[in-house]
Amino acid sequence: MGALAVGGELQALSRGDVPAVVASLPVSLRLAEPSDLVALEGGPGWPERVAAATARGVMVVHPTPAAPEAVPAHPGAPVVLNYRFADNPVMPTAARLFTDWPADAMIEAAAVVAQPAELDGVLLDQLATLRRLGSPAVELTRLTWSSAGYYLSAVTRTGVRLLLSAHVTTATSPQLRIRGLAPSVALELTLPDPGTAQPAVLVRTTDAGATKFPTLWESSHRAGWRRLVAAVDGTTPADDLTGLRTDLGLLAPLLPAS
Amino acid sequence: MSVSPISPNPLGVGFLGAGPVTQAIHLPALAGLGHLFSVRAVMDADGGTARSVAARAGARPSTSVQDVLQDESIDVIAVCSPHPFHAEQVIEACLAGKKVVLCEKPFATTVEDATRIAEVCATTGVPVLVGAMHTHDPGWLAFTQAWGETAGSAQHIRCSAVLPPNPRFEDFATEVSHRPPAPTGPTAAADRIRDGVLGLAIHDLPLIRAFLAEPGQIVVHEARSLTPFGYSIIFSSAGQVVELHALMSENWDPHWSFQVFAPTRAATVTFMPSYVQAGPADVVIDEAGRRTQLKAAPHNGYLGEWQHLYDVAHGGAPRYGTAELVADLAFALDVAEQACGAAATTNRAA
């Protein structure tokens, strides 16, 4: 298969750093019209634009909450949801470490974002991150929500307690930190903003010491495009929309009325 | 710091209670301040413990509170007994005319007792300090000076303590004599949370209270106990939200941090674990694209509170007045009570 042509909405190309990503995958991708793969911006109306897309593959950059019923059940082409944090390439390794996480433990997911307008999107990102770690939330309760951020409580299907928070500040770079705390082991995963290829940091600690896992110098944007290529060429199917519909159903009652 | 480097007349210190806190925290701290303090007596209800601990400090042992209070060579009483004895022993020490009383946290178990202490302090003129090491940590003091006005200045306040069991750190600080058996603890979630708040969160509740504009108006949204020992509590006060969580586990890596988030600035204060003579807290402030790491005096809060006590004994003003200490305690009891109520609700819902 030759390099796939990539195009899309201007805002999606910009927010997803698509030209830079394509330049870093020159054998697989090239910027060209008409495009084989299309990048769509994840703001309001993205499910309808996914349904209308005619490309061989669709990338939704930074998806935000939408009505679950609007999300296509059977899109005409593979769809990858390119989250800021959940698409980080460290996730498969982290997911292995979170396998069989003890039910009497807790997992916290604390995000830092710059603007209150980012809160809906980062919550969806947190839910996707937990899902990709193998610990999806099955109940979600809003504790607090304001322009300063939020706190939500949840549990997984195995009873692990989840605490989701977001803090709005321009003082530091956006990030999502996942911390698993169990009686005999702790996992800490720091996911950086995908503006650069700054690697995630993954550390597992027990009573015997701490293990820091190898750094992967790749942004979630680039990792997402590799996933889309693999889905289009049939190597690895993308099933992002199925989990998304479940997460959207969970959070729809909790989001403040706009 | 106005501490004199050499004092011709060190202050005499008497301890009420000789458990791990006295052995692993105060005696090692005072050993480094021998030019300022001299330990004269160590009292414990257990005569063997009193003899063993007194011997290592070159002090005389006792099993009688009154014996220590009436000792005129003793200027400072350190109350390190079990919590229920604190209030009465502090009051008796004040009435005995000591120069200063240091009491381990919490210095009372009810607001009424705390208020009585404040009244006795006012009547006798004897200042009382509470041994809350984080409030005396040079890192914390440098942070509050750099941050400026604290009340109402952050929307989110987060305090996380993930710690191995205490004996790991006690053994770095001393060789513990007559270590009491580990408490079995209550099994009901609400009671476990009360113990957690008044035993562990109490270190940081004064710091949290300093950041709240309306600390008397808290609402607890959720409280859960964690296994094997810990808690997770979310509460708010006039729009500010506080996250308090702690877990004591077999994980070797201690992590004890206090964080604040404001629209354009944020800070993290990372404290050392209890008992070890390490410090100060590490402080990082982020604002406007600039990260500032503060370099505070190279000691911890234990040494800080004794150095401050020396100043107070020589006429200096206490860093935290009795009204503030009473307010800190009332806040802690309020958090504990409301968290217990929320935990009971959570458990019923589960």
Name the closest residue on chain A to residue B239, using Cα atoms: A146
In chain B, residues with a C-beta closer than 8 Å to the C-beta of A165 are 156, 158, 243
- Give the distance from residue B279's alpha carbon to the nearest chain A alpha carbon, in angstroms: 22
Across all residues in chain B, what is the average pLDDT? 92
Q: Per-residue pLDDT tens for B260-311?
A: 999 999 999 999 988 888 889 999 999 988 999 998 988 999 999 999 999 9
Of A104, A108, A206, Cβ closest to residue B227: A104
Q: Does one domain contain both B110 and B162?
A: no
Q: Does one domain contain both A121 and A171?
A: yes
Determine contact: B241 vs chain A, CB below 8 A. yes
3-state SS of chain A?
CCCEEEEECHHHHHHCCHHHHHHCCCCCEEECCCCCEEEEECCCCHHHHHHHCCCCEEEEECCCCCCHHHCCCCCCCCEEEECCCCCCCCHHHHHHHHCCCCCCCEEEEEEEECCHHHHHHHHHHHHHHHHHCCCCEEEEEEEEEECCEEEEEEEECCCCEEEEEEEECCCCCCEEEEEEECCCCEEEEEEECCCCCCCCEEEEEECCEEEECCCCCCCHHHHHHHHHHHHHCCCCCCCHHHHHHHHHHHHCCCCCCC
Q: Does one domain contain both B292 and B151?
A: yes
Q: Does one domain contain both B187 and B234?
A: yes
Q: Does one domain contain both A183 and A228?
A: no
Kindly list the distances between the CA atom of residue A230 and the CA atoms of A86, A92, A227, A241, B133, in Å, as whole numbers in the listed order.
18, 15, 5, 16, 56
Q: What is the pLDDT of residue A1?
A: 66
Q: Does one domain contain both B175 and B101?
A: no
Q: Does one domain contain both A107 and A52?
A: no
- Give the distance from residue B89's alpha carbon to the nearest chain A alpha carbon, in angstroms: 37
Higher pLDDT, B75 or B289: B75
User: What is the mean pLDDT of the segment spanning B185-193?
Assistant: 76
In chain B, residues with a C-beta closer than 8 Å to the C-beta of A107 are none
Mutation target vs B (from A118, A169, A207; most B CBs, 10 A cutoff): A169
Tell whether the model's pLDDT for residue A180 goes beyond 80: yes
- What CATH number is given to the structural domain containing B17? 3.40.50.720
With CB atoms and an 8 Å threshold, state whether A184 touches B252.
Answer: no
Could you give the residue ranges of the DSSP H alpha helices within chain B? Answer: 20, 27-31, 47-57, 65-69, 86-95, 111-124, 133-136, 138-147, 166-173, 189-199, 205-211, 301-313, 322-349
| Domain, as residue range, for A236 | 4-85+221-251
Q: How would residue B350 be classed by pLDDT, with cut points 50, 70 and 90?
A: very low
Q: Does one domain contain both A213 and A97?
A: yes
User: Would A258 be classed as within a structural domain?
Assistant: no
Q: Does one domain contain both A181 and A234?
A: no
User: Would B2 be classed as within a structural domain?
Assistant: no
Q: Does one domain contain both B94 and B144?
A: no
Q: Per-residue pLDDT tens for A9-48?
A: 999 999 999 999 999 999 999 999 999 999 999 999 999 9
Q: Does one domain contain both B63 and B146?
A: no
Q: What is the pLDDT of residue B191?
A: 84
Name the closest residue on chain B to residue A112, using Cα atoms: B261
Q: Does one domain contain both A134 and A186?
A: yes
Query: What's the structural domain count of chain B?
Result: 2
Q: Does one domain contain both A124 and A200?
A: yes
Name the closest residue on chain A to residue B267, using Cα atoms: A171
Higher pLDDT, A245 or B164: A245
Q: Does one domain contain both B243 and B343?
A: yes
Q: How would residue B183 be classed by pLDDT, with cut points 50, 70 and 90?
A: low
In chain A, residues with a C-beta closer than 8 Å to the C-beta of B250 are 183-184, 206-207
User: Would B150 be classed as within a structural domain?
Assistant: yes
Query: What's the structural domain count of chain A?
Result: 2
Q: Does one domain contain both A121 and A13?
A: no
- What CATH number is given to the structural domain containing A102? 3.30.360.10
User: What is the mean pLDDT of the segment spanning B202-222?
Assistant: 97
- What CATH number is given to the structural domain containing B204? 3.30.360.10
Pairing state of beta strands A37-41 and B218-226?
unpaired
Q: What is the pLDDT of residue B174?
A: 79
Q: Does one domain contain both A242 and A163?
A: no
Q: Per-residue pLDDT tens for B1-56?
A: 444 455 668 999 999 999 999 999 999 999 999 999 999 999 999 999 999 999 99
Determine if the peptide bond prior to B106 is cis (ω within 30°): yes
Q: Does one domain contain both B89 and B156?
A: no
Which pair of structure tokens corresponds to residue B103? 């009491």
Q: Does one domain contain both A49 and A75?
A: yes
User: Would A257 be classed as within a structural domain?
Assistant: no
With CB atoms and an 8 Å threshold, state whether B253 touches A205.
Answer: yes
Q: Per-residue pLDDT tens for B101-119?
A: 999 999 999 999 999 999 9
Tell me the percentage of chain B whose pLDDT exceeds 70.
95
Q: Does one domain contain both B282 and B156?
A: yes
User: Would A101 be classed as within a structural domain?
Assistant: yes
What does the CA dihedral B174, B178, B179, B180 come to, rounded to 10 degrees?
-150
Q: Does one domain contain both A202 and A147?
A: yes
| Domain, as residue range, for B120 | 11-132+305-320
Mean pLDDT comparison of B172-181, B192-201, B237-246, highest-scoring range: B237-246
Q: Does one domain contain both B208 and B116?
A: no
Of A106, A167, A209, Cβ closest to residue B226: A106
In chain B, residues with a C-beta closer than 8 Å to the C-beta of A182 are 249
Tell whether the model's pLDDT for residue A226 goes beyond 50: yes
Q: Does one domain contain both A172 and A186?
A: yes
User: What is the mean pLDDT of the segment spanning A60-72?
Assistant: 96
Which pair of structure tokens corresponds to residue A15? 């927010």
ipTM: 0.93
